[in-house]
A and B are shown apart, each in its own frame.
Chain A
Amino acid sequence: MSLSRPTSVPSPTSEPRRAANPSSIRIIDVEQRFTPPNRPAFNALEAVGLEIGPTEFCSIVGPSGCGKSTVLNMVAGFLQPTSGRIEALGKTVQAVNTEVGYVTQDSNLLPWLTTAKNIELPLKIRGFAKAEREELVRHWIGVVGLEGFESSYPHQLSGGMQKRCAIARTLVYDPEVLLLDEPFGALDAITKTVLQGVLLDLWESKRRSVLFVTHDLNEAITLSDRVVVMTKRPGTVKAIVDIDLPRPRNVYEIGSDPRFAQLHRDLWSLFKSEI
């Protein structure tokens, strides 16, 4: 592992620069080539181009191994594209991107910190004052419905509650861009739907740009403004489908909308040739 230091941490008071940037994320003709030890090099991504608007909820779907998560990891700055360029909030991503929030399939909570302390950690790192930290933590524990579990450790929480905690920990510092990598992938169907509802409500109230990776077409349609379908490896953008379902959406009922079924058929026909 490496301990490289991210370049800059936005101060808690930095103003959003959304107005100046029509796109929050621009992925410009990106190629990602991997050279695994003792195996031939391969292209994970080829000629990927994508722009995500400042208030847009955009999902990426694609078969396993098509490089969906690689796209997020590049936007997060964990790896650099082999060629092409990635811009987030108007700046080329060259190091770990501390202006985004990243929720992964593993909740990645620190096991030795309680729920409240986990949520407080990014605020501490970003230099929020103690009073403000406590206020924000209390607020977000309420928002994600973890009251009564403030002093529980992650291993004492269910998978869904861990996910609530991870979401609160990411949203608590109000990142301009949210990256979500199959956040609900490991959850049971009911918990998944409930948390999709929580996420949609939060998005409705905050309207940040979201880049959401999933392999679940229903989830992509339910949540997104646009769904990007990727090809199998080497991954590239096969098609972008506008999800013209009205908002605000009800995650529990949207599945019975006839338009939903039509969109699902459209996406599936694009998707199935890539499996």
Chain B
Amino acid sequence: MSVVQSSQTKAPAEAADMDAGARARALRVPATATITLGRLAIVVVIIAAWQLCSGRLVPAYLISSPSAVAQRLYDLFKTGTVWPDIGITTQELVSGYVIGIVGGVVVGVALGSSRIAAALIEPLLAALNSVPKIALAPLFLLWFGIGLGSKIAIAAMTVFFVMFYNVYMGMGTVPKGLVNTLQIMGASRWVMVRQLILPQLSVPILAGLKAGVSFAMIGVVVGEFVAADSGLGYYVRNSTDLFDSPGVYAGIILLMLLVLIGVGLVTLLERRLLRWRR
């Protein structure tokens, strides 16, 4: 390292952090009652327009209608037939997500801390990442079977790359001065990761966690579309084949809700982890 490096490398990283914080504050619109009502009004108008168009301007088998979708959702939960599908999809989503996130963080930190490992492996990962994941879905079905395994694998791989690149690029922002400081204190590799790297990367990791939810769902649904015998994706696909448009929309809404719940949980985590920035 050079003499002046520590003081020079730290400043831009800090400035970037502060910029991000300031931007986040500027973008946060105060959720006053008026705003909430406004948002609600927009949704109501869209749903009303949808209801009015359905069967009049656009054939109902293409866009169904809010009332038909609501009726279908009600029936699905009343009979309880939807629960196994929700269970399967949730299981695939959570498993694939967790595997992808953990893998992405571990490989990102590993390659980010070893120039040799990065030089050897990163180009291979970039090549693998350039393969459209959807194209791999049939292969994964061959390898991992028609059940949960193939969906988990596709979701995990999709999430892995999102997380890996967030962490790998983030490793460049770890200030050399802090690394040196912890080394002088006698920090082991694990202490370095736990006390410096993970907190330093909290923002890119949280971004990866958030984006990862919807990426995991893409992986799961792709898998269920290609071949499955249960799950919400399978339900949507099956309803499409039967020209059952209320079923398609009901399935899509349930998929959306699952992703929203996941993102909501990450947001709770975000508030906890970023307390020190306020």
**Residues of A participating in the B interface, judged by any CB pair closer than 8 Å:** 1-6, 9-10, 34, 36, 44, 65, 67-70, 73, 76, 78-79, 96-98, 100-102, 104-106, 108, 110-113, 121-122, 125-126, 153, 155, 173
Confirm or deny: B185 has a beta carbon within 8 angstroms of a beta carbon on chain A.
yes
Complex contact B189–A3 (CB within 8 A): yes
- 18 pairs of residues in contact across A and B, judged by CB atoms under 8 Å: A1-B113, A3-B189, A3-B192, A44-B3, A69-B4, A78-B183, A100-B184, A104-B6, A104-B180, A104-B181, A106-B7, A106-B10, A108-B10, A108-B175, A110-B199, A113-B276, A126-B186, A155-B277
Give A65's nearest chain B residue, CB to CB: B3
Q: In the complex, what distance in Å separates the CA atom of A121 from the CA atom of B4?
A: 26
Total B residues in contact with A, Cβ cutoff 8 Å: 38
**Chain B's nearest CB lies how many Å from the CB of A196?**
20
**Residues of B participating in the A interface, judged by any CB pair closer than 8 Å:** 1-4, 6-7, 10, 17, 112-115, 171, 174-189, 191-193, 195-196, 199, 202, 276-277
Complex contact B181–A3 (CB within 8 A): no
Q: Which of B7, B10, B114, B184 contacts A102 (CB 8 A)?
A: B184
Complex contact A108–B276 (CB within 8 A): no
Q: In the complex, what distance in Å separates the CA atom of A76 from the CA atom of B1?
A: 12
Complex contact A1–B179 (CB within 8 A): yes
Q: Given A1-B179, A108-B177, A125-B191, A97 and B3 touching (CB < 8 A)?
A: no
Q: Given A1-B113, A108-B178, A110-B199, A6 and B186 touching (CB < 8 A)?
A: yes
Q: Given A1-B113, A3-B113, A112 and B276 touching (CB < 8 A)?
A: yes
Contacts of B4 in A (CB 8 A): 69
Q: Given A108-B178, A111-B276, A122 and B185 touching (CB < 8 A)?
A: yes
Q: In the complex, what distance in Å separates the CA atom of A108 from the CA atom of B180?
A: 9
Which of B115, B177, B185, B193 lies at the interface centre, i.e. has the most chain A CB atoms within 10 A of its CB? Answer: B185
Complex contact B178–A110 (CB within 8 A): yes
Top 6 closest A-B pairs, CB basis? A9-B186, A122-B185, A98-B186, A112-B276, A69-B3, A108-B181
Main SS class of interface, B: helix
Q: Which of A79, A106, A125, A155 contacts B186 (CB 8 A)?
A: A125
Contacts of B10 in A (CB 8 A): 106, 108
Q: In the complex, what distance in Å separates the CA atom of A3 from the CA atom of B176?
A: 11
Contacts of A9 in B (CB 8 A): 186
Complex contact A102–B181 (CB within 8 A): yes
Complex contact B184–A1 (CB within 8 A): no
Contacts of B189 in A (CB 8 A): 3, 5
**Chain B's nearest CB lies how many Å from the CB of A156?**
10
Contacts of A105 in B (CB 8 A): 7
Q: In the complex, what distance in Å separates the CA atom of A104 from the CA atom of B4?
A: 11
Main SS class of interface, A: loop
Complex contact B184–A73 (CB within 8 A): no
Q: Which of B2, B115, B187, B192 contacts A34 (CB 8 A)?
A: B2
Contacts of B114 in A (CB 8 A): 2
Contacts of A121 in B (CB 8 A): 185, 195
Q: In the complex, what distance in Å separates the CA atom of A1 from the CA atom of B189?
A: 12
**Chain B's nearest CB lies how many Å from the CB of A102?**
5
Contacts of A110 in B (CB 8 A): 178, 195-196, 199
Which of A10, A78, A79 lies at the interface centre, i.e. has the most chain B CB atoms within 10 A of its CB? Answer: A78
Complex contact B184–A79 (CB within 8 A): no
Q: Given A1-B113, A3-B192, A110-B195, A70 and B3 touching (CB < 8 A)?
A: yes
Complex contact A97–B184 (CB within 8 A): yes
Which of A3, A5, A100 lies at the interface centre, i.e. has the most chain B CB atoms within 10 A of its CB? Answer: A3
Contacts of B180 in A (CB 8 A): 76, 78, 102, 104, 108
Q: Which of A2, A5, A78, A108 contacts B188 (CB 8 A)?
A: A5
Q: In the complex, what distance in Å separates the CA atom of A73 from the CA atom of B5?
A: 12
Contacts of A125 in B (CB 8 A): 182, 185-188, 191
Q: Given A1-B174, A2-B113, A112-B199, A76 and B184 touching (CB < 8 A)?
A: yes
Q: In the complex, what distance in Å separates the CA atom of A34 from the CA atom of B179?
A: 21
Contacts of A102 in B (CB 8 A): 180-181, 184
**Chain B's nearest CB lies how many Å from the CB of A195?**
18
Complex contact B113–A104 (CB within 8 A): no
Q: Which of A65, A97, A106 contacts B6 (CB 8 A)?
A: A106
Contacts of A97 in B (CB 8 A): 184
Complex contact B3–A67 (CB within 8 A): yes
Give A186's nearest chain B residue, CB to CB: B7
Q: In the complex, what distance in Å separates the CA atom of A2 from the CA atom of B118?
A: 12
**Chain A's nearest CB lies how many Å from the CB of B97?**
25
Kindly list 14 other residue pairs between chains A and B, CB separation below 8 angstroms, not including A97-B184, A108-B6: A1-B171, A3-B192, A4-B183, A6-B184, A34-B2, A69-B4, A73-B3, A76-B180, A78-B180, A104-B7, A104-B177, A110-B199, A125-B185, A155-B277
